[in-house]
Structure 1
Amino acid sequence: MASVRGTPPGLRTLSGYRRAWLAKDVVAGVVLTTLLVPQGMAYAELAGLPPITGLYTSVLCLLAYAVFGPSRILVLGPDSSLGPMIAATVLPLVVADGDPERAVALASMLALMVGAITLLAGVAKLGFIADLISKPTMIGYMNGLALTILIGQLPKLFGFSTDADGLLEEIADFATGLADGKTVPAALAVGAGGIVLVLAVQRWLAKVPAVLVMVVLAMAASAVFDLGEHDVKLVGELPEGLPPFTIPDIRFDDLAPLFIGALGIALVSLADTISNASAFAARTGQQVRGSDEMVAIGSANLAAGLFQGFPVSTSGSRTAVAERAGAKSQITGVVGALLIVLMLVFVPGLFRSLPQPALAAVVITASLSLADFAGTRRLWRQRKAEFLLSVAAFLGVALLGVLPGIAIAVGLSILNVFRRAWWPYNAVLGRVPGLEGYHDIRSYPEAGRLPGLVILRFDAPLFFANAKSFRGEVMRLARDEPQPRWILIAAEPITDVDTTAADVLEELDRTLNELGISLVFAELKDPVRRKVERYELTRTIDPDHFFPTVEAAVTAYRAGADTEWSVAESSAGGEPDRTA
């Protein structure tokens, strides 16, 4: 493959294309388009943009990913999880009269920034960035996002609009609108009926394109009952043709808030892309190349941003539709893009009678799929601390907003890692009859211990944040009665010792020596041992008190102390003999 080493991944994948795949890819592309069009328009409105921009975005990102994307069937496009983030970034910068052209320019620049961030991250092999959000905090974030989307779409579902900013204000304004009689019955019938229809079809006729069925029936109802004359807002005529190549025209002072929003969007897009790519690669036998996916996502966002589009991500639901329809390659996405282009050129008025409440129904049903109630319940049952992290992320999104919510989610994930290293698990070890090695006496109360010897395992690297915690635990054991002669550290989990921890160890060893207690280490990794020697800790800690294994240290202690495991403990699991 040397001849194609410099070829973009998507084209390299297509170099092995089989003619037998073409019919399946074309059929899958047609099926996919029935989902791309209504969702593209709906998610554009969710982002506070004209519906046509969702179609422009879909075309450009599908074509770009077909060239640069390493996955055979992953589908990119406007996404329900990014819509509120785009709106939260763009709408505060739009002038008071809500100029749609300025909103599109800001969203396009946002896409260019997201593209640049993800492209540079991919080139720099920074795929690990997607791991900054832990699963519990992502569950909470997505639950909060689902609620935010749902509440934000309710006024449109009921046929009116609000100018609220923030979840609580949106709830209040929606309730006020209901109380003031702003509900449009025909709009509510279309929207609520659309939600019920989509959920029912997805539940009982999974292979039928639920969104397409609902959209077609909504347009039919609009024509039959002349819903436009009954105060139901319609999509209207879409602009004819394709968008021109455009450099977004924005003000200099817009760049900083756009960049902050772009960082959050890029992080969510990457996390979503890596997780979806991993899930679908496992089914097709492909390997996930995180950095290549980042480059592809970046390229797709750049392409969308240069043609009046907005930031995109992968879609698990659309990818699943393509997979079920028989997609074999990115030709499926290319077919979908070409069909949208044909629609814009030849039949731009195809969706002019589509009621806006039907688009709200599309968004609401998508938001319901974002919520993970089962995952939340599992966290409650399995680990309360991570459940609380999830709740905190949920409240951050719901009460503070989408962008602060993603910052809180990332911050909580990082703090959770730090918390585990700050207060790591530690255990006193003993010998268990019938089991090799030494084990936690909390789990095995019958474990035997040699008189005068305490074996402590500290399950974290030793660094500035937990060094005093380590010292406190050792000193607590040193004050036990009867006083130990050796405190043996089973150091295999200690993967690092920083300079702060080295100073604490030096002071701790002096204190223990004054008490007649030796601080001893076993199973210290070679790189950590070299750091200990570089810190000159062996000036105070006896070099002979470093052992390759816990067993070797125990043997040395027994030889010096002339003590044995008790017969009762070693054979029947009784208490060890306390006599030397």
Structure 2
Amino acid sequence: MRVLPPGVRELRGYRRSWLGRDLAAGAVLTALLVPQGMAYAELAGLPAITGLYTSITCLLAYAVFGPSRILVLGPDSSLGPMIAATVLPLVAAGGDPERAVALASMLALLVGVVMVVAAWAGLGFVADLLSKPTMVGYINGLALTILIGQLPKLLGFSVDADGLLQEVAGFVRGVADGEVVPAAATVGIGGVVLVLVLQRWLPKVPAVLVMVVLAIAATTLFDLGSRGVGLVGELPQGFPPLTFPGVAWSDLGLLVGGALAIALVALADTISTASAFAERTGQEVRGNQEMSGIGAANIAAGLFQGFPVSTSASRTAVAERAGARSQLTGVTGAVLILLMILLLPGLFRNLPDAALAAVVVTAALSLADLPAMARLWRQRKVEFALSVAALAGVALLGVLPGIAIAVGLSILNVFRHAWLPYQTTLGLVDGVAGYHDVRSYPAARRLPGLVIYRFDAPLLFANAKTFRDEIRTLARSEPAPHWIVVAAEPVTDVDTTAADMLLDLDRLLDEHGQALVFAELKDPVRRKLERYGLTRVIEPRHFFPTVEAAVETFRARTGAEWTERVPATAPQGPAPPGVPPPRPPG
């Protein structure tokens, strides 16, 4: 049976009553797509027109290959600095727009291929490599980088600098040297204030469109071009032909590295956005299909002088509020932009560059999430530190190193939890069924000669020494236990390094008349221990299905009775009946 693309399959369920809403939402969406597309293209170091080419192709491609009815793809403020960081170092000094466009288009193709291959391999889980704290730090660092980079353009001058600190110094120097263009600064700062006020008090009004229209009107009325205000100028008429970008083989190394980073950020952004909107529309998020849809959109953009794209939460929200019901909204937006390029290329001739900078600055302000940083500070200082480290990595080392740092910190945080997991001993709590953490219940009772120990992680090479050291510490405690029962329900895995450690630990305890006992081992873990040969060395009677069974067996053999919890420093008491006292642990 012929397999149809997800977007085509969605058409089967299309309702005629949706048509009017989709067309109207597409018209509203276009008002946001055009200025943002142009602004984000310049943020990426590319001609403004490429933002419109990109918007058209990615919207059409995702409408065919994307699984979501409502997600809107396009140029994104979070990807702009990453594209610039990848492409601009490869462009000769002085800049070559055609070479920059070719490199950006190849970057989009590579991002698309990475996405499609990852979807085919079922690698949607890689989005989880960016934990929430490090993603918050990365995004805040990105917002800071964008904001500082756009301030000179907002005030009508430019800065030639590499890195955040140099950009700050260049901006301060430019202001001190009188390079600010008053008319451009008025347009730029006024545009930022206008957009923020409208978004805050009149959220249904297309704030960006209103600002752009007023900026064009002011330029025409007061002839701001003659007052030193930079203008977008006439856009090229027509749509570019299907073209495979030509780049040198020597450029591919940096492009591939940038493509991997961009694909990771785009995927994480898309999955989170898709999940949020799927909850509202009742759709199910299909991670691998989303990867394929984004991949197809990037490939299409790359073949028509575009650059990498991602999902936009703000544009998706606009489409949803405007009544969008399907991807026909995006198709409508793409057609309207195409008609504008073909029939009205001079429409944005008098749009000030400072107005585009205002679009980017407001986008950067919306990216920043300082309340999330404050919440991390209140809730968990370690994750706050990870977030700050990711922010500093982006701000001080650059966008691409910053994403590498964010991923590395996320992985290290997972490793830290595995290396130093939570571990405790359990006791009997009056009136509460089962056995419970003595830290939460200090009055919990214990059995003389028995310790119930819980290790809340898989047993791996990274934490085998931690487990061993804690068991040896318990074995040396006073009064010395005869049985150490491992409540193993949280142990989801045991690797070969940990298995060898368990063998050595069992022999050491046996030498001192003590026993290592396991309770509640999961069946897959028990089978692994059998493969490793542990069940032939550790006595079979030292494996129990439940902690309760282990405790009752110990009580039956020793006659021990529950007592008040004995402090670890208490002197050793007499051995329970029938059990010889252990020799001093070595």
Q: Is the pair's TM-score, using the shorter chain for normalization, greater than 0.5?
A: yes
Q: Distance in 1 between matches of 2:166 and 2:60?
A: 40
| CA deviation profile, 1:390-441 (whole Å, cap 9, x unmatched) | 0110000000000000000011111111110011100100011111111000
Q: Whole-Å Cα distance in 1 between the matches of residues 76 and 448 of structure 2?
A: 64
8 Å contact kept, 2:479–2:573: no
The answer to which of 547-556 and 513-522 deviates more is 513-522
Q: Which residue pairs with 1:136 in the alignment?
A: 133
4+ residue runs of structure 1 moved beyond 6 angstroms?
A: none
Choose the corresponding residue for 1:508, options 501, 505, 509: 505
Aligned pairs (5 A) from 1:235-384: 235-384=232-381
For residues 182-201 of structure 1, what are the structure 2 equivalents within 5 Å?
Answer: 182-201=179-198
What amino acid does structure 2 have at the position aligned with 1:85? M
Give deviations 1:301-347, integer Å, cap 9, x for gaps. Answer: 00000000000000000000000000010000001000001100100
Asked if 1 retains the 8 angstrom alpha-carbon contact of 2:423 and 2:455, the reply is yes
Corresponding position of 2:178 = 181
- Give the counterpart of 2:210 among 213, 231, 251: 213
What letter corresponds to residue 261 of structure 1 in structure 2? G
Within the alignment, does 1:444 sit opposite 2:454 as a pair? Answer: no
Q: Distance in 2 between matches of 1:371 and 1:162?
A: 23
- Asked whether 1:46 is paired with 2:43, we answer yes
Match of 2:400 in 1: 403
The residue identity in structure 1 corresponding to 2:280 is R
User: SS in structure 2 opposite 1:149?
Assistant: helix
CA distance in 1, matches of 2:498, 2:70: 50
Q: Report if aligned partners of 1:62, 1:75 keep a CA contact under 8 Å in 2.
A: yes
Native 8 Å contact 2:530 2:536 kept in 1: no
- Partner of 1:216: helix, strand, or coil? helix
Tell me how many residue pairs correspond in the alignment.
570
The one-letter amino acid of 1:403's match is: L
1:229 aligned partner: 226
C-alpha separation in 2, matches of 1:159 and 1:361: 11
- Give deviations 1:539-561, integer Å, cap 9, x for gaps: 43111100000000000000111
Q: Distance between the aligned counterparts of 1:35 and 1:87, measured in 2?
A: 22
Q: 1:578 Cα deviation (Å)?
A: 6.5
Whichever residue aligns with residue 109 of structure 1, its letter is M
| Amino acid paired to 1:137 | T
Partner of residue 453, structure 1: 450
Aligned counterparts of 2:573 and 2:386: Cα–Cα separation in 1 = 45
Alignment correspondent of 1:120: 117
Structure 1: any 5+ residue segments left out of the alignment?
570-574
Query: What is the aligned partner in structure 1 of residue 3 from structure 2?
Result: 6
Taking the aligned partners of 1:144 and 1:433, their CA distance within structure 2 comes to 51
Pairwise CA RMSD: 1.2
- Report Cα offsets for 1:194-225 as digits up to 9, x if no partner: 00000000000000000000000000110111
**Aligned position for 2:579:** none
For 1:572, the equivalent position in structure 2 comes to none
- Cα distance in 2 for partners of 1:431, 1:369 equals 52
Q: Which residue of 2 aligns with 1:84?
A: 81
The Cα offsets for residues 264-302 of structure 1, whole Å up to 9 and x where unpaired, read as 000000001111111111100000011110000000000
Q: Does 1:33 align with 2:33?
A: no
User: How many angstroms apart in 2 are the aligned matches of 1:194 and 1:97?
Assistant: 30
**Matches of 2:77 and 2:233, distance apart in 1:** 22
Candidates 533, 536, 542, aligned match of 1:536: 533
Matched residue SS, 2:452 = strand
Q: Which residue of 1 aligns with 2:414?
A: 417
Residue 151 of structure 1 is aligned with which of 148, 158, 163?
148
The worse-fitting range, judged by mean Cα deviation, of 441-450 and 123-132 is 123-132
Distance 2:297 2:253 in 1: 22
TM value normalised by structure 2: 0.96
**In structure 2, how many angstroms separate the alpha carbons of the residues matched to 1:287 and 1:578?**
61
Q: 2:66 aligns with which of 48, 54, 69?
A: 69
Q: 1:366 to 1:56 in 2, by over 3 A?
A: same
Structure 2 distance, partners of 1:132, 1:342, is 41
Does the CA-based 8 Å contact 1:450-1:578 persist in structure 2? no
The unaligned stretches of length 5 or more in structure 2 are 577-586
Q: Name 1:102's counterpart in structure 2.
A: 99
CA distance in 1, matches of 2:535, 2:320: 62
C-alpha contact 2:486 2:519 (8 A) present in aligned 1: yes
Q: Which amino acid aligns with 1:470?
A: F
TM-score normalised per structure 1: 0.97
For residue 435 of structure 1, the aligned residue among 425, 432, 436 is 432
